[in-house]
Chains A and B, each alone.
Chain A
């Protein structure tokens, strides 16, 4: 069992953030929020979350760009101490073609399938001990 990880939810939709936070906190995570890409980069620097749940559709930059910046500021990858980045959207992964695969994100999670268990799987897959 992993220690309670901190999660940064990046999404411009207040309702989603509220419910996602409630669900994840109930599941034992520490949760921080950001509504924009710029805010996400800033919060990630101060909070240093273990996982960033990153919506692809953001008002300022798109999720791919934010993922690139987070990865760059976090040391390049989860192994180098950066957060595990999980892209999310109400759309399908197939709607983004190959862009998800070529981004530094660890993977994609459709929004409606969000759960603490799903995030733990990403964390486990990315931790050096888990692989």
Chain B
């Protein structure tokens, strides 16, 4: 809405209220202050709600309807004017505010009437409000209402007839009552058929409609009798207060939207990353206050929501609206169409949902990348193992074999010259010794590169060989005899081998225990000694490398080595 239009609306409301106080006479001895102040209070409340509604829902008719109720409330005050025209118009307009209020109730919460029948009801409301007043005016002599000669003239008076006037009043009361009942029933039906956001929006209206309906019935009945002032106060004095419930509706709906906005903000913060889409939907639905909210994802040619229902974004069900989410996945939110009045809330919800999905996607991506890195690390280790196995085998098949042959040849050569040429014999013997030394060293080297015994016999044999070669007294409490995947065997082997090497090098330990236990889903390797302790898996140390090695197999290495209390090395290696 433009500033100019807003200025006009404010000016109109202020002017109308000012006029009221200019023309209305303060209550005389027979009237009560509440009727004097109630009217402008109700009018000002509706005019203010109208302005605020116009600002909040520029595309909706609700602002207009609130304002209409406000102006129509002030209109009857024209009869204070000592002027026949004002007096006539004021009296004729006495029921219009009620009709506008019924219109507002039926159009709540979108501002649109829902059916042709309801439009008919609203037309009937306005027609009966204006029609019966005008009809009554034709036969109403102000004197009937105790108005003496000081009252201005009724310009519409054709023929003053008290029975006719009474008949018009009774008819008016009956038609008004029927229309009121119809309006209240329709509002209750709106509430019952509404879902989600709209249903929540209907709840306060149902209460307001029932109360205003009851008040209107009482006014109708008591209006047929001339009540003494006190009784009039008791039956009708609260009418202005009841009417104030209308603007309260607006306040409630505004507060509700604000609460939802706050709740959405909190939900965005609270939503744990990577939550499944179903949880995201639930959180948003709760925060937004629309239990019908659907979050649907592209699924082949169509869309499917988080509860598995097919959704067609191109043709939403009646009363539903669709908004696409931004982000990598093709997704939509389907929500109660009543929320169309709160585009800000929808934008906020879309932003929250998009952000959460993007967050989940990023997390999944990071997770996937981590998986890739893990897998590639495992492959690198595996490839390294395979390469070491190949090297060991190459040494065995190549250099070692040739050295063996050389040793045999030297042996034969020596036996040929035995007793013939002692010098040559000694030379050949020395050469043979050298060759054997080389062979031994090469064998140790090959074993260091990769223990053939591990490939040949598996963990049990390999650990046994390690223990036998260790200078410390090592007992094996448990080792499974079965074979495991090469990477797992090699990892467990290196844990024990590194631990025993440390025992020999640093621990000053006398004894050590080795146990490898086959547990469900894992292999638990444990080496403990009674040595000096104080081992620390710092970077670059053998233990740090070992921790990396265990981690690459998806396991964990724990080192427990308090100074002076021995060292315990434990590795958990996943094992199918």
Contact = CB atoms under 8 A, between A and B. Distances in A.
Nearest to A99: B457
A26 B415 contact: yes
Given A19-B412, A26-B412, A57-B397, A95 B465 contact: yes
A111 interface: yes
B453 A95 contact: yes
A112 B465 contact: no
B396 A111 contact: no
A99 B456 contact: yes
Nearest to B407: A112
Contacts of B446: 91
Contacts of B453: 94-97
Interface string B440-483: 00010011000111001100111011001100000000000000
Interface in A73-98: 90-92, 94-98
Contacts of B435: 112
Contacts of B409: 19
Given A16-B404, A57-B397, A98 B461 contact: yes
Contact of A97 (B439, B447, B460, B469): B460
Question: What's the dominant secondary structure at chain B's contact region?
Answer: helix
Interface string A89-131: 0111011111100000000000110110000000000000000
Contact of B461 (A15, A97, A111, A115): A97
A45 interface: no
A16 B403 CA distance: 10
Interface in B402-418: 402-405, 407-409, 411-412, 415
A98 B458 CA distance: 11
A125 to B, nearest CB: 22
A95 B401 contact: no
Interface centre among B401, B402, B461 (most CB of A within 10 A): B401
Given A94-B453, A112-B436, A15 B464 contact: no
B465 A19 contact: no
A28 interface: no
Nearest to B439: A112
Q: What is the interface residue range for chain A against chain B? A: 20 to 34
Nearest to A23: B412
B456 A16 contact: no
B457 A115 contact: no
B400 interface: yes
Interface in B357-407: 396-397, 400-405, 407
A4 to B, nearest CB: 18
Given A91-B443, A95-B451, A23 B461 contact: no
Contacts of A26: 412, 415
Contacts of B457: 96-99
A82 to B, nearest CB: 24
A91 B452 contact: yes
A20 interface: yes
Interface centre among B404, B451, B452 (most CB of A within 10 A): B404
Contacts of B462: 97
A111 B403 CA distance: 10
Contacts of B400: 90-91
Nearest to B444: A92
Given A23-B408, A57-B396, A94-B453, A99 B403 contact: no
B451 A112 contact: no
A13 B405 contact: yes
A115 B411 contact: yes
B439 A22 contact: no
Contacts of A96: 452-453, 456-457, 461
Contacts of A22: 412
Interface in B290-329: none
Nearest to B395: A90
A94 B447 CA distance: 11
A3 B456 CA distance: 37
Contact of A95 (B402, B404, B408, B456): B456
Contacts of B397: 13, 57
Interface string B265-285: 000000000000000000000
Given A19-B409, A23-B412, A90-B396, A99 B404 contact: no
A23 B413 CA distance: 10
A95 B462 CA distance: 8
Given A26-B415, A57-B396, A90-B439, A97 B408 contact: no
Interface centre among B402, B443, B452 (most CB of A within 10 A): B452
A96 B409 CA distance: 26
B451 A23 contact: no
A97 B435 CA distance: 26
Contacts of A112: 403-404, 407-408, 435-436, 439
A19 B435 CA distance: 15
Contact of B404 (A92, A97, A111, A115): A111
A114 B412 CA distance: 11
Contacts of B412: 19, 22-23, 26
15 contacts: A16-B405, A20-B408, A57-B396, A90-B400, A90-B403, A94-B465, A95-B447, A95-B456, A96-B456, A96-B457, A97-B465, A98-B461, A99-B461, A111-B401, A112-B408
Given A22-B412, A97-B464, 8 more contacts: A13-B397, A20-B408, A23-B408, A90-B439, A96-B453, A112-B404, A112-B439, A114-B408
Q: Sort A-B residue pairs by CB-CB distance and give the 9 closest, nearest first.
A: A97-B461, A97-B457, A90-B400, A19-B408, A111-B404, A15-B405, A95-B452, A95-B453, A112-B407
